[in-house]
Structures are given as structure tokens and as C-alpha cells.
Amino acid sequence: MPIRNKIGEMVENVRLLERSCGQRKPSVGTLYLSATHTIFVENNPETRKETWVPHSMVSGVERLPPSPTGSQLILRCKDFRVILVLIPQERDCVDIHASLARLSRPEKYSELYCLSFNPNVNKEQREESWAFVDLAADYRRMGVPNNLWVTTAANSEYRVCDTYPSELFVPKSATPAVIVGSSRFRSRGRFPVLSYFHQDTLAAVCRCSQPLSGFSGRCQEDEMMLQAVMKSNPGSDYIYVVDTRPKLNAMANRAAGKGYENEDHYTNIKLQFIGIENIHVMRSSQQKIVDVGEMRSPSMTDFLFGLENSGWLKHIKAILDAGVFIARAVADEGISVLVHCSDGWDRTAQACSVASLLLDPYYRTIRGLMVLIERDWVSFGHKFSHRYAHLDGDPKEVSPVLDQFLECAWQLSEQFPCAFEFNERFLIAVHSHIYSCQYGTFLGNCEKERRDLRLREHSHSVWPQLWKERSQFTNPLYQTDLSPSQGVLRPNTSPYCFKLWKGLYNHTEKSMPPRQSPADFLSTVREESKQLEEELTNQQERLTALTGKPITWEKVAVPRRRRRTDCQKHGGPDPPATTHGRLISGPDGQTDRKAPRKDPALTLPLRDTDDFSACSDLESGVADLSSRSSSGGDDNKEAELE
């Protein structure tokens, strides 16, 4: 890779040690400081290995007192890598430290990498990249708008709530007056809106922020709003209001004129506290678990105590518990849930997105997870730039909120190894892009801010890039044909079932070649089956040549069971006209169509023959082939398969 960025500083004879990679011997080379990256190029002429660290990934630079061999600089990265650099001259070290300290703390958006990053694409492609994830299509997929949930123009031009998206779904019976009234009674105007609609039960997951109730305040419109949410779920006579905070925290907020819904004022609500801690607790907990991952040669005691004392897994459990509660209510009880925390952009986003992950198999696909993050996090005003320290700002605003959601997905994939289309690498890739600022997707704190920054004109969306690399993000164990009714995940959230996410926190592993995971082996197996398949086709062709009759049996397509979109839901909402259409109209329809061919496992002829009724065992399958090869009667086969 040519170093095309403007070189700012350059120091030779630098020794680098990427400690988090378990590397022991420092490599000697040259350190460059560009406008966007710290680059280290090894001297070794054979390898010339380059290490690039975007400034936006640097969470801290530390200079140690000089020693006879030189001065040490420690770079701590937001993806938990730790890089040590030994610079011969103290003066150079001071300079680099000063520059990096400045470069890693940009003060303006314009300084960020994504606004200078230009991956050689034209305007159309850039615009297409932004259209890759289409939220309207996802709402259509889940069956809204319908006669229960409708779009509202209330927030066009972000008039009612500046941290919400302009496109919102609300209960059909909620009038603009109710919406506006309710928004005045909620922190930051974040009134109850739809997050996910569950077609099977007609129950919905809704989100908002805490009410400004204090000790006795009430608001008629807000009460009507919650009533409207309940009414949009025909047949139910209450809703759950999930306050994801610990009850003590929620009570403390009442003193500040905020708090939680008073069950005496709202009819037909059931209030439930979950107990997810606030961003400050999470920040310090993550630091503790990072420390555990960084321990050099810990004893079993160090490790287990460290893990328990960090409290991290307990917090992950609390978030997953919130998701499980919501998913149970929606899928099993058919009761709608309104979720909030304080401002409704951290814990609420976590709880809602975990619930969607549990409820709908679509969000467990690669594309589905992109859509989910785009909806529950990006569009609903999760404060990315504050939480992930894109700009130099209040360190108290920083917290690993989305990290925790990604970890929930990972913990779930450990419990259900076949339920997710993506693998751990995908989650880690998303994680690093949240921090890297290479793409504009996660920049800013809400939709309005992104619009004002005109990010779509000046930067690119990360999703098409990740989609392009999806072959390395695919879990070969993914079981595609989980039917939707069975598709609700019911994880176990007892502490037995949580473990340290080594892939993220234990970087020492990364230096090693990928260990033996079933998935890696499956890729080999896939390759093997592909070869067999080809050989089979060859043999068939030979046979065709011998018998003089075309043999088409391997093409016999047994109709796969149809996916959920085609099922008619019981009564309920009018199905929107587009339900049957393409779910996602991505800009790269082309790659989309190519996908099956790239995926040998999906084209295995035998894969599709689960109702190969004539071949209930292996033997008859073999017998069939031989008998057919002599008679050449393919038509029989067709008939049998029906």
C-alpha cells in the first residue's frame, strides 16, 4: 500500500512492539505520522510489514520517562490493541507524542478521516452506498404501515424531537395533538414510537424516553399516547412499560422532575424495571475487563476474580435479560412493550435491538444486523460521536453502549451456533468501524446532525463495504431454514452461559493463526463437497453421453419451504402492498443475485431435497440413481417428489 497521505513527521530506527498481539521481539523500522494515520514500516526488506493505526482509533498516548535505549511511547487503541514504540531520540518522542495527542483528539468533524477518505468511487456509487440500507423497506418487511401503525409527519424537519428521525411510526389513533403533547412530557421530546412490529402476534416494541413526571406530574396526552399504543395491539388489555434502569436510579430521577410512569395515572400498564446500569458504570466495568484481557501471565485466580469483579458479564446479562423480557412479552404473551431509560438512546437502544434479534430471524443475517443497527441506533439518535469519542469532548459522555449490544449478539451466537448468518469477525469489524471514523455511517449524534453535516455528500456508508467482504463474515453453520414461528430465540441467561469474548478482549490470540473452530473446518468441508458435486456433474454428463438421453435429475428443484413473508397473518393489519416485493432494494442488486453462486453449500443439490420422499435412506437413493440411469426415466422422479 503506498503511503499517499501527506507525511507530517517521520522518525527512523524506531522499534515497535504490538504487545496486545503477544509479539515479543520488537521490529525495527520507520515511524510516519500522516494527517490520518500513524504508520510503521518495518525495515526488514523481505517483509516490509506495515502497521497502520488511524488517529481516530487512538484512545490514549502515553510517554514514559526516557531510558538509555530511548523513549517509550504507548498507544492505546479503541479496539483494545496496545502498541509500544521505542524512539531513539527523546526529542523525537516528545514531538510525536505532542502531534499524536493532538491528532487523536480532533475538535471538529472536518478533521475526521471519513471526510478525507476517498475510496475511488464516483458520485452515483456514493449515493448508492447510502441507499444500501433502506429502513422504509424494513418497516414494510415487518408489515407497517398498516391499519394499526402509520407514519406521522409530526417530526418532519425534526420539529418535535430533534434527536429522532423524521420518518416515524405511531399508533393509528395517536393524533398530532397527542404526539406533540406526549413529546412535551418526555425527556428531550422523545415520545413513544414504533421500533419493531411483530406480525405473528401484532404486538409491538416501542421506545421513548423517561416521562417528566417528577413526584406527581401527569400529562393527559402522554396517557392517551400509551393508551393508543395498547389499542394498536387488538385483543390486548395492557402494555408493559419497561424501564431498563435500576429502580433506585429511576426513583432518583424523580427528584429532578423526571422518573417513571405512575401506575395510578396510566391505566392498563405494567411497569417493569430491569436494572441495566448507567453509562458511567459500564465505562469503568469495560476498563476492568480490558485489563483482564491484557494480563500477561495471569493465574486462574487472577483471571476468574478479574472477570467476576469487572462485573462486565453481569451487565451483559442484564441487557440480554431486558431483551428476553421484551421478546417473551411480544412473542409469547402477545403484549406490546414500551421501553425507555433516561433519554432513551442508550439502554433503550440496547434493549430494543436485542429484542429484535431474539424475535426476528432476519436480524440474525448479515444484512439484517446492518438494518437493525441502522434503525435502532443510527436513526433513533444514539449519540455515536459522544459515546465513541469521535471528537475531543467530555470523557464522561464516552461509554461502550454499542459494544455491549454487539457482545450480546456474540453471546447469543455462542449459545446458538447455527442461528446467525454472521460470525464473530463481522461483529468485530462493525465494532472497529464504530470507532474508526473511516466511514460516515456512525458520525454525529442524530439524523439531524448528519443532515446538517451533509455527510452523505462528503463521506461514504460502511455497509456496502462490509457487504462486499461478507464471505469472510459468513458463519458456515448458519441454518437458513429456521421457520419464523420457531425463529424466536430463547437464550439461557443464567451466569453459566456467559463467557469472556476473547475475540475482542483477548488480543494475544490474534497473533496466532486462527485456532481450530468448527466454522473454519466447515469451510474445508464445503470445498470438499463442492468438488464432489462437480465430479458428480461430470459423471452425469458422461452418463448422458453414454445413454444419449439428457439427464436432468440433479436439477430437480424441490420447492423450498416458503419464507415467512408470504404467510398470511391472522386477521390483524392490512398487509402493505409491498410485502411480497423484494425485501431490500439495495444498490448492488447485482452482487445480491450473484450471492448464491458464491455459496457452494447453498447449491448442494442434496441440500434442497429434505423431502426427497423416495429416498428416505441412503440406500434407496443409490438404488434410484442406478435404476434411473438404465431407464432414463426422469419424469417419474419429478412425480415422486411432488
Partner 1 sequence: MFSPRTTKPTFKSYLPPVQTDGKTSIEPPIRKLEPTLLSGEIVVNEANFVKKCVSAEGSQEDLWGKLICTNFKVSFIPQDAPLKPKSQLSHLLLGEHDIPLTCLDQVVTVNDVKGKKKVLGSNQKLKFNPTELILYCKDLRVIRFCFSEAGPDSAKKVCLAIAHYSHPADIHLLFGFEYQGRRYHQAKEEGVSGSTQRGGLQTQRFDRPSDWDREIKRTGASEWRVCSINKKYKTSPSLPENIVVPVSMMDRELEDLAANFTDSRLPMWCWNHTNGSALVRMAVLNPLQQKKTEQKFFSAISKSHPQHTEILKVDLDKSLPNIQDIQSSFIKMKQICVLEPFEESEERWLSSIENSRWLEYVRAFLKYSAEVVYHLERKNVSVILQEEEDRDLNCVVSSLVQLMLDPHYRSLIGFQSLVQKEWVMAGHRFLDRCNHLKKNDKEESPLFLLFLDCVWQMMNQYPAAFEFTEAYLTVLSDSMWIPLFSTFLFNSPENRAQHLLEFAKSKAIPQGEDQAVFFPPVWEWAQQFSTKDQTLFNNPLYVGKGATRFQNGEVKTFTRSKKNYGSINQGAPSSVRNGVRGGEDTLSRRSSLMSELKPDLPTVKDESPSEHFFRDWFSRPADLQGLLIPQLLPSHLSLWKLYFLRWVPEACIAKGGPITAYHKLSLLMNEIEVLQNQLRQYNRTSMESASLSNQSGSLSERGRMYFRAISAEDPPVPPDFLTSSFPFSAVGNLCRRGSQGTPVSKFLNGAKTWLSTETLDDTV
Q: For residues 244-283, which are near partner 1 according to CB under 8 A?
A: 245-250, 252-253, 256, 258, 272-275, 277-281
CB atoms within 10 A of CB 197: 27
Q: Considering only residues 74 through 113, tell me which ones interact with partner 1, judged by CB under 8 A.
A: 74, 84, 86
Q: Binding mask 286-305 vs partner 1 (x if CB under 8 A, - otherwise)?
A: -----x-xxxxxxxxxxxxx
CB of 235 to partner 1, least distance (A): 20
Catalytically annotated residue among 114, 206, 341, 446:
341
CB of 107 to partner 1, least distance (A): 22
By CB under 8 A, which span of 15-23, 125-133, 188-196, 458-466 interacts with partner 1?
Answer: 15-23
Cα–Cα distance for residue pair 189/182, rounded to 1 Å: 8
Query: Quick one: how far is CA 328 from the chain centroid?
Result: 21
Q: Does 576 bind partner 1 (CB under 8 A)?
A: no
Nearer to partner 1, 113 or 312 (CB): 312
**Concatenated DSSP letters for 492-554?**
--SGGG----HHHH-GGGGGSPP---HHHHHHHHHHHHHHHHHHHHHHHHHHHHHHSS---GG
Q: Binding mask 303-322 vs partner 1 (x if CB under 8 A, - otherwise)?
A: xxxxxx----xx---x--x-
Residue of 36, 59, 72, 461 that binds partner 1 (CB under 8 A): 72
By CB under 8 A, which span of 169-177, 178-186, 217-225, 521-529 interacts with partner 1?
Answer: 521-529
Beta strands in 274-380, from DSSP E residues, in sequence order: 337-340
Q: Considering only residues 319 through 378, tell me which ones interact with partner 1, judged by CB under 8 A.
A: 321, 324-325, 328, 342-343
Cα–Cα distance for residue pair 627/633, rounded to 1 Å: 9
Q: Does 485 bind partner 1 (CB under 8 A)?
A: no
Residue of 118, 524, 552, 631 that binds partner 1 (CB under 8 A): 524
Q: Considering only residues 17 through 56, tell me which ones interact with partner 1, judged by CB under 8 A.
A: 17, 19, 22, 24-26
Q: Does 567 bind partner 1 (CB under 8 A)?
A: no
Residue 600 has phi, psi (to 5 degrees) of -60, -35
Q: Considering only residues 118 through 177, tell me which ones interact with partner 1, judged by CB under 8 A.
A: none
- Closest C-alpha among 199, 76, 222 to residue 145: 199
Nearer to partner 1, 107 or 302 (CB): 302
CB of 576 to partner 1, least distance (A): 29
Q: Binding mask 532-561 vs partner 1 (x if CB under 8 A, - otherwise)?
A: xx-xx--xx-xx--x---------------
3-state secondary structure of 396: helix
Residue of 30, 415, 591, 636 that binds partner 1 (CB under 8 A): 415
Query: Quick one: how far is CA 375 from the chain centroid?
Result: 11
**Concatenated DSSP letters for 131-193?**
HSS-HHHHHHHTT-SSSSEEEE-TTGGG-S-TTS-S-EEEETT--HHHHHHHHHTBGGG---E
Residue of 150, 497, 551, 641 that binds partner 1 (CB under 8 A): 497
CB of 421 to partner 1, least distance (A): 13
- HEC string for 337-353: EEEECCCCCCHHHHHHH
- The alpha carbon torsion through 499, 502, 505, 511 (nearest 10 deg) reads 170
CB atoms within 10 A of CB 598: 12
Cα–Cα distance for residue pair 574/567, rounded to 1 Å: 13
By CB under 8 A, which span of 47-55, 219-227, 350-358, 624-632 interacts with partner 1?
Answer: 624-632
Nearer to partner 1, 222 or 321 (CB): 321
The one-letter code for the residue type at 6 is K
Distances (CA, A) of 32 to 66, 83, 402, 453: 20, 14, 32, 30
Nearer to partner 1, 266 or 439 (CB): 266
Q: Does 457 bind partner 1 (CB under 8 A)?
A: no
Q: Does 622 bind partner 1 (CB under 8 A)?
A: yes
For the record, the C-alpha cell of 482 comes out as 429456521
Contact 462, 114 (CB under 8 A): no
By CB under 8 A, which span of 46-54, 449-457, 515-523, 571-579 interacts with partner 1?
Answer: 515-523
Residues near 50 by Cβ (< 8 Å), separated by ≥ 6?
1, 39, 40, 41, 42
341 is catalytic: yes
Distances (CA, A) of 423 to 2, 77, 419, 564, 638: 31, 23, 10, 24, 38
Site residue total, partner 1 (CB under 8 A): 126
Nearer to partner 1, 178 or 205 (CB): 205
Nearer to partner 1, 2 or 513 (CB): 513
Nearer to partner 1, 304 or 557 (CB): 304
What amino acid positions are annotated as catalytic residues?
Answer: 341
